[in-house]
Structure 1
Amino acid sequence: MTSVVMIGATGAVGGHCARAVSGRGQLTSLGRRVATGIDAAQHVVDLADPPSYAAHLAGQSVAICCLGVGEPSKVTRDEFRRIDHDIPLGFATAARAAGVGHFLLLSSVGANAASPSFFLRTKGQLEDGLRALAFDRLSLFHPSMILTPENRYGLSQALTLAIWPRLTPLLRGPLRRFRGIAVDRLGQAIAATALGTGRGEEVLEWPQIVARADQFGVTSTT
């Protein structure tokens, strides 16, 4: 079985990914609290201190990062960068030092280190940092709107969840990459990629995410 270590299993996407991986692979979850509903070796650690959890990275072949701020507008820029850049890059650096060959990141459509958007620029800078680590395989997931069954963040998300599915059929051609993706399907796509084979860098946007989720072979709940 493929040995997978991940951070972010307590989040919406990470939870679906962890459940999908744990059903078909050997999963180790690291975080500040225990995730529910997954079959995994779980360790409560300080994610900002990679040496404190380095022992749990030994022998792993795949590392997944689904960690991220749910509502970036609710935190300072410094806190956002710490959670969405510094901690993931520290995790990736420690994983590479431990011999992990494949790293998967839940990022965002439009991520670019030269973007005028602080959010997208931070994501892009993280991706550049991961490239510098020279993993044998690097899988970067670039979803647009992530559609959840429930409203987690108030009025703005409620409006988005109501409107975005209706916009999806209108987003064609180059705009397909902005289509919404159900949270469980995204988790399944990440899991399918983690448990599959390949080499080099791949950037997965909406068409590739849907195709990879189809490989996992289950039906969306959203």
Structure 2
Amino acid sequence: MPLKSNEVSVVILGGSGAVGKAALKTLLQLNNIQQITLLGRNPISTVKTNCVQQHKIDVSDPRSYQNYVQGHTTAICTLGVGQPTKVSKEEFIKIDKIAVLNFATECKKVGVKHFELLASVGINAKSSSYYLRTKGELVEALKALDFDRLSIFQPSMILTPTNRYGIGQAITLKIWPLLKPFFIGSLRKYKGIPVNVLGQAMAKNILKEGEAYEVLQWDQFYTVSK
């Protein structure tokens, strides 16, 4: 059934991750969302509502999902390697850049107007860090697709309630909140952001007016999530 001009429908790639789940939780609470389509390697078993459709796909093969992105006004992408240092550069680029760009390209082909990307603070296509450079190159490629609206979310440390990646993350989750008083002025963007606030911001931002190209960081996360 075609959507009316004032209806919003969202297709999400990476919804099973911490940020994706937080965004989905908020989307399900918003009255303006008519349809949500989740694309991923495995369905989310806890999601059981008529407005959500789930499809198991191969994130590396656009043909596995090209029919599922049609009919949506907005796309949210939170896909990414959880621990980039634990995989090869080639694998990181394959997931965090190529797979995301393929998804965005398919979305653009079928008329998705608004694309939201979970990125990272400090990304730059000319960075000496391959992680930040790859993310920066991705954003430049997304800009070239010329969506009506492109929203780039740039968190620093994402604070999750549980440790997902071992002792390194456990230490970081303990220490990062203690550094908050030192992140002032231009350093505010490096403050840790609770995953639920980031998810709320990604969800609620699609219902707010924004620029054709916009970068959202720590301050904007709290403003938009209210």
State the TM-score, normalizing by the size of structure 2. Answer: 0.92
Gaps of 5+ in 1: 215-222
Q: In the alignment, is the contact (CA less than 8 A) between 1:19 and 1:37 conserved in 2?
A: no
How many residues align? The count is 214
Report the Cα distance in structure 2 between the residues aligned to 1:198 and 1:147, rounded to whole angstroms.
Answer: 26
Let me know the Cα RMSD of the aligned residues: 1.1
- Confirm or deny that 1:161 pairs with 2:162: no
Tell me the percent identity.
Answer: 49
Match of 1:12 among 9, 13, 18: 18
- Confirm or deny that 1:35 pairs with 2:41: no
Give the aligned partner of residue 9 of structure 2: 3
- Confirm or deny that 1:101 pairs with 2:110: no
Match of 1:76 among 80, 88, 93: 88
Report the Cα distance in structure 2 between the residues aligned to 1:85 and 1:183, rounded to whole angstroms.
Answer: 22
Matching of residues 124-139 of structure 1 within 5 Å: 124-139=136-151
Letter in 2 for 1:174: S
Give the aligned partner of residue 220 of structure 1: none
SS in 2 for 1:54: coil
Report the Cα distance in structure 1 between the residues aligned to 2:191 and 2:8, rounded to whole angstroms.
Answer: 31
Give the aligned partner of residue 187 of structure 1: 199
Q: Deviations over 1:45-64 (max 9, x none)?
A: 11211122111111100001
SS in 1 for 2:125: coil
Report the Cα distance in structure 2 between the residues aligned to 1:22 and 1:151, rounded to whole angstroms.
Answer: 25
Q: Deviations over 1:78-127 (max 9, x none)?
A: 11111100100000000000000100000000011000000000000100
Report the Cα distance in structure 1 between the residues aligned to 2:196 and 2:74, rounded to whole angstroms.
Answer: 20
Q: CA deviation at 1:4?
A: 0.3
Give the aligned partner of residue 48 of structure 1: 60
Judge which range, 33-42 or 103-112, deviates more. 33-42
Letter in 2 for 1:30: L
Report the Cα distance in structure 1 between the residues aligned to 2:45 and 2:190, rounded to whole angstroms.
Answer: 31
Q: In the alignment, is the contact (CA less than 8 A) between 1:143 and 1:181 conserved in 2?
A: yes
Match of 2:131 among 119, 135, 142: 119
Report the Cα distance in structure 1 between the residues aligned to 2:60 and 2:111, rounded to whole angstroms.
Answer: 20
State the TM-score, normalizing by the size of structure 1. Answer: 0.93
Q: In the alignment, is the contact (CA less than 8 A) between 1:137 and 1:198 conserved in 2?
A: yes
Letter in 2 for 1:149: P
Judge which range, 2-11 or 41-50, deviates more. 41-50
